[in-house]
A and B are shown apart, each in its own frame.
Chain A
Amino acid sequence: MTGSLRARWEAYWFEPGHALQLAVVRVLAAGTALWVLVSRDRAGVSGLGSEFWSGVSAITRWRFLLFPGHETLERALTLLAAVLLVATLLGIRPRVTALASALLLYHLAPLESIVWTPAPYGRGLTLPTLALLLCGIAPSADALAPGARTTAPSWRYGWPVRLLQVWLVSVYFFSGVAKLRASGLAWASGENLTHWLRLATQNELVNVHVAVGGWIADQPLAASGAGALTLAFEFGCVVALFSRRARPWFALVAIGFHVGIYLAMNITFNSWPLLLAFVDWPAARDRWRGWRGGAVLA
């Protein structure tokens, strides 16, 4: 029994993977991180007065090596992170640059919310930081470089992608766990969804899009359905970790899920490009080559 479980564990984590899949993950992670990094001015938070840092404990400051009054240094580190991310994106010494980027993002990302919480999840750099750490550990065989040699599938390319997929699924799974713990199944009631949607479309601070959310909120059946489907998706997405066929569908549904939330509730999920790690890129490449070959022959 133990031997069988161990064998399944080994087969799950160390199933041979393609270098191309890992290279795509590297590009997705670096691209997403770069986009989010240059979109907002985190370094400026370091230059805010000490009053804004009054709630930041000593352990938090040392945990992230973040101290007020170093705006110029933080700007230099942000620039360095951007340069490293471009290098990672282009495949220039990707192992070193990805690892260094992950370490810098670990330092820079909390600046965004540190005046009240050191946990900036939901702001867009959490998953890219973890993904870049994986890219810094995994082999740098660059399957995306022009004229790159095809390498045989190996366990070394497989487990980092699998771990990233686990982290991506955990976003939805633990979001579902949090809902059940805080509200129970009543979270999925039409009344609750209606109230959330109306708040998101009536609150002047966030109501950029109002049509979709307002329409769903006015249809009791649609609101109940949205609540039930949300919980079903958040727990059902675990299937994507074990079913190869479910993976691209999970990516598609998850991206649709975020588009819906964006339009209905004015909430963004900036790490959405990483969901493309669920697409089987080597298979997509082979299909593309086959299609092109067929088209040329025709």
Chain B
Amino acid sequence: MIGELVALTGWIVLVATGAWIALRERGTSGTGGPSAAVRRFIAVALAMSLLAGFSQRELWPFATWALMPARSPADVRIRALVCVDSADRPFAVDHRAWAPLTEEELLSWTRGPFTRLEAAAQRTAIVSLTERVEAGRVRARGGLSPAAHASPLGRFAASSHLLHPLRWTTPERTPATPCVALRLVERRWNVDSAAAGRGVVIESTLWQLPPHEEEP
């Protein structure tokens, strides 16, 4: 809360000072030297950047730039959302089908805000995601992009900060069976063992929505 107020205040002061500078110096030659407003702008911009960087608190657009700061263990746990067909068979989703969400934002959401939702709201959210992915699968089966609003830049579009494999690149490489549920799985393995060719990935289901119902 305080961090957000500091970030907002810093941004407003910066924009207001900048607009003031732009208006005051319009049409002038700048021979009088830098004004107090220019010095104030630089001071605020530096202060916000240093505050975000050294405190490692989010003050966007002044960023912490904490990029992979932790140590990575040999034993890793990675979560993935997969589709499940009517026969309860899982299949991987092309990341473009999650759009407008990117896969990493979606997985972070399932770890945080999703867990705090009521059961009914969780179900509503997962149903809408399932419908979104299924619509993407149908588009891909028809030879189109799985994304609802594909970028006009096509393969030249900027990726999100992580690359993701393209899975549903042709109708033949797109699953033929509809996605009827989503399953959050956790995969555990040892990266050193896997590199040595003797790794085993242990996959466990954390939840599936809607749950699979066995036929009587």
Chain A positions within 8 Å of B, measured between CB atoms, are: 13-14, 35-36, 38-45, 47-49, 51-52, 54-55, 57, 59-60, 63, 95, 99, 102-103, 106, 109-113, 115-124, 126, 129-130, 133-134, 136-137, 139, 154-156, 159, 163, 166-167, 170-175, 177-179, 181-183, 186-187, 192, 194-196, 198-199, 202-209, 214, 217-218, 262, 266-270
Contact = CB atoms under 8 A, between A and B. Distances in A.
Nearest to B113: A55
Contact of B30 (A52, A124, A154, A163): A154
B108 A116 contact: yes
Nearest to B72: A195
A137 B21 contact: yes
B170 interface: no
B103 A41 contact: no
B124 A49 contact: yes
Contact of A40 (B67, B158, B194, B195): B158
Interface of B: 1, 4-5, 7-8, 11, 14-15, 18-19, 21-22, 25, 30, 33-34, 38, 41-42, 45-46, 49, 52-54, 56, 58, 60-61, 63-74, 76, 78, 80, 92, 95, 99-103, 105-106, 108-109, 111-114, 116-117, 121-122, 124-125, 128, 147-149, 151-153, 157-165, 189, 191-192, 194-195, 199
A130 B105 contact: no
Contacts of A57: 1, 4
Given A35-B158, A49-B125, A268-B161, A218 B1 contact: no
B109 to A, nearest CB: 5
A42 B153 contact: no
A176 B163 CA distance: 23
Nearest to A62: B8
A267 B60 CA distance: 21
A-B pairs, top 7 by smallest CB distance, nearest first, are: A55-B113, A44-B100, A121-B63, A174-B53, A198-B191, A178-B66, A39-B157
Contact of A136 (B18, B121, B125): B18
Given A49-B124, A59-B5, A155-B30, A122 B161 contact: yes
Contacts, number: 263
A47 B66 CA distance: 30
B105 A113 contact: yes
Given A106-B61, A118-B60, A268-B158, A133 B18 contact: yes
A133 B14 contact: yes
A177 B53 contact: yes
Contact of B22 (A49, A95, A171, A182): A95
Given A126-B63, A137-B18, A181-B56, A199 B121 contact: no
A136 B22 contact: yes
Given A115-B108, A116-B113, 16 more contacts: A14-B33, A41-B149, A41-B151, A44-B100, A44-B148, A51-B121, A110-B60, A115-B105, A130-B61, A133-B15, A137-B22, A171-B65, A177-B56, A204-B165, A218-B195, A268-B161
Contacts of B66: 174-175, 178, 182
A49 B108 CA distance: 17
Given A45-B101, A173-B53, A214 B195 contact: yes
Contacts of B46: 163, 166
Contacts of A183: 69-71
